[in-house]
């Protein structure tokens, strides 16, 4: 029984590591870009005064869509592309300081929620390894895990919506709307609600167990 549990946990850890490696590589490239910009600024090179925002787009006409073009490096031709999630630069003067602070706070919230969810998950698995399975502590951990993931998703969604709003003030794309719909493909919300569902199933099981234990 524990062997199967260990295998599932190993799978989850691997999936988290892959996702973390993506986050770290994004952080690394962002950090490197920041250092480069600083060095260029110090050397007197005029720097690109933009901040990049991640946005989601929703094509209004998929068949005749010519939302964006890109150069195909293989043959040098220009091809039509359909971006769903893009990083778009917004001039710095368009981003107000309040928005920047609010977005930073949301990013911190997302990070704190993710770490909190991981801690709850690890504690729950540790409990199961100690044969503490049908216990109210596990129900509480599952509930906290679910709520933190839902909060994490909500913060990401608000960040996405603000970014879309900021970008929509600067540019508009042909046959394409800025939309937050794509953010719903993120499985965080689904996992959050699934955790809450499992917490309730655990709670029902625990109540039945208590009733059974107290039947004389």
Partner 1 sequence: MPIIVNLDVMMAKRKISLGELAERIDLTPANLSILKTGKAKAVRFSTLEAICKELNCQPGDILEYQSEE
Strands 176-178 and 78-81, bridge-based pairing: unpaired
- Give the torsion through C-alpha atoms of 188, 194, 199, 204, to 10 deg: 170
Least distance (Å) from partner 1 to the CB of residue 208? 11
Residue 189, phi then psi, degrees to nearest 5: -65, -45
Q: Is 121 exposed, middle or buried (0-12, 13-18, 19+ CB in 10 A)?
A: buried
C-beta of 93 vs 211, nearer to partner 1 = 211
C-beta of 126 vs 209, nearer to partner 1 = 209
C-beta of 43 vs 214, nearer to partner 1 = 214
Which residues, other chains included, contact 2 with Cβ-Cβ below 8 Å and sequence gap of 6+? 129
Least distance (Å) from partner 1 to the CB of residue 19? 45
Number of Cβ atoms within 10 Å of the Cβ of 96: 10
* Pairwise CA distance, residues 54 & 216, whole Å: 61
User: Which residue ranges make up the site for partner 1 (CB under 8 A)?
Assistant: 210-211, 214-216
| Tokens, residue 179 | 């939309």
Least distance (Å) from partner 1 to the CB of residue 201? 20
Least distance (Å) from partner 1 to the CB of residue 212? 9
C-beta of 97 vs 214, nearer to partner 1 = 214
Least distance (Å) from partner 1 to the CB of residue 204? 15
Least distance (Å) from partner 1 to the CB of residue 209? 11
C-beta of 1 vs 216, nearer to partner 1 = 216
C-beta of 45 vs 204, nearer to partner 1 = 204
- Provide the terminal-to-terminal Cα distance of the chain, rounded to the nearest Å: 31
């Amino acid at each position: 029984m524990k062997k199967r549990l260990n295998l599932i946990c190993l799978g989850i850890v691997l999936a988290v590591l892959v996702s973390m490696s993506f986050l770290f590589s994004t952080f690394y490239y962002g950090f490197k870009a920041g250092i480069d910009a600083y060095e260029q600024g110090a050397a007197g090179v005029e720097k690109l005064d933009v901040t990049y925002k991640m946005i989601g787009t929703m094509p209004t006409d998929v068949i005749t869509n010519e939302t964006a073009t890109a150069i195909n490096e293989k043959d040098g031709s220009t091809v039509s592309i359909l971006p769903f999630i893009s990083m778009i630069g917004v001039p710095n003067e368009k981003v107000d300081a309040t928005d920047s602070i609010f977005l930073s706070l949301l990013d911190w919230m997302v990070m704190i929620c993710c770490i909190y969810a991981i801690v709850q998950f690890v504690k729950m698995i540790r409990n199961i390894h100690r044969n503490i399975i049908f216990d109210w502590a596990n129900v509480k951990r599952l509930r906290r895990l679910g709520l933190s993931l839902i909060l994490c998703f909500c913060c990401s969604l608000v960040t996405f919506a603000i970014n879309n709003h900021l970008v929509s003030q600067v540019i508009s794309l042909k046959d394409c709307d800025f939309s937050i719909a794509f953010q719903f493909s993120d499985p965080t919300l689904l996992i959050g609600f699934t955790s809450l569902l499992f917490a309730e199933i655990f709670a029902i099981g625990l109540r039945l167990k208590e009733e059974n234990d107290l039947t004389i």
